[in-house]
A = this chain, B = another copy of it.
Amino acid sequence: MMNAFGHIFRVTTWGESHGPALGATVDGVPPGVKLEADMLQHWLDKRKPGQNKYTTQRREPDAVKILSGVYEGQTTGTPVQLMIENTDQRSKDYGDIAEKFRPGHADITYWLKYGIRDPRGGGRSSARETAARVAAGGLAREVLAALAPGIEIKGYMTRMGVHEIDRSRFDWDEIERNPFWVPDAQAAETWAGYLNGLRKAGSSVGAICEVVIKGAPAGLGAPIYAKLDTDLAAAMMSINAVKGVEIGEGMAAAMLTGEENADEIYIGDDGQPVYSSNHAGGILGGISTGQDIVVRFAVKPTSSILTPRKTITRSGEPAEVITKGRHDPCVGIRAVPVGEAMAACVVLDHLLLHRAQVGDGPRGTIG
């Protein structure tokens, strides 16, 4: 359970950055869903490093193989094993790291906890683990497409370091047009220069990503600990380098009054509830309202930078450390598809959990 998530659609990821392979074991997959490796590869390619100068130059083909749970192109209801072999393992880049703990990295905590760690490329704590999540998320998307075709899941960046997007310029189509998945063309330009500067300086910077789930039915979630927002928060916080998670207004809700925060309810043209606003981010009492579900998370700057930092060695000597490996100046960029994948897994899981307890569709009616 330490490396798994989900109640029904249950994903266990496994593998280290520089071991033979990594992957995801997915239990609870509904049967009869079309699935080919290509469908998953699409999402892995989106996350893949080395696509432009803003992401690490480590080049992995990241080719996903389906080892089980699929017969003649359809899921069978048995566990789906998704494996990605590690082919680019230039572990010499990390030699220094075996003895020295990188500040801000999991090196020291893995060591203190387990008394052993795989230092090659960060081992289990490497962002490479997220490839397995993206593969599982791709599978979740295919199941959602079969079970609840109206659902759309889209992530993008809203902040990189000191620069934030201007929401008045928000353009969904822009997201796919720039290397930052940013929905603001002007921001994309500014950010390019900003990140280039950081990259050349061997520095790094944090980011905020937002994922929107459109078309999810009302009724997903449950009190008190299978709340939809609880599971989304856990899902996002479990991603490497994430330090904060928000639903709807998020931390800013603290600054609002009850009057400002209330999403008033009206009857729409189809006789169903519509809301004057979405401060709640589509979730009330842990259960979806049918509005857009909005989750946001902050990614810290990668600690692998070229500026020397003070640290210690395993034997307790003071030291300095510089990370010479291939790294992302802003890991937040690659966190976008990971956040989307986690959102897909959580929404599917709650769809299945809902039909377990309540049956298909929401149960209470209006009017």
Taking the nearest CB of chain B, how far is it from the CB of A272, in angstroms? 9
Note all chain B residues with C-beta closer than 8 A to A221.
Answer: 109, 113
Complex contacts, A259 vs chain B, CB 8 Å: 203, 305, 307, 309
Binary CB contact string for chain A from 95 to 128 against chain B (1 if under 8 A, 0 otherwise): 0000001011110111111111110000111000
- 5 closest A-B pairs by CB: A106-B285, A316-B367, A356-B356, A115-B363, A109-B287
Closest-CB distance, A339 to chain B (whole angstroms): 13
Task: Give chain B nearest CB distance to A282 CB in angstroms.
Answer: 10
- Asked if A271 CB lies within 8 Å of chain B CBs, one says yes
Distance in angstroms from A86 CB to nearest chain B CB is 10
Interface 9-residue window, one of A46-54, A181-189, A247-255: A247-255
5 contacts between A and B (CB under 8 A): A3-B224, A109-B284, A113-B362, A208-B251, A267-B312
Q: Does chain B have a CB within 8 A of A129?
A: yes
B257 near A301: Cβ-Cβ < 8 Å: yes
CB of B28 within 8 A of CB of A303, answer: no
Within 8 Å by CB of A273, from B7, B204, B312, lies B312
Q: Does A32 contact B (CB under 8 A)?
A: yes
A248 neighbours in B (Cβ, 8 Å): 243
Cβ contact of A224, chosen from B13, B264, B305, B354, cutoff 8 A? B13
A14 touching B79, Cβ below 8 Å? yes
A135 to chain B, nearest CB (A): 14
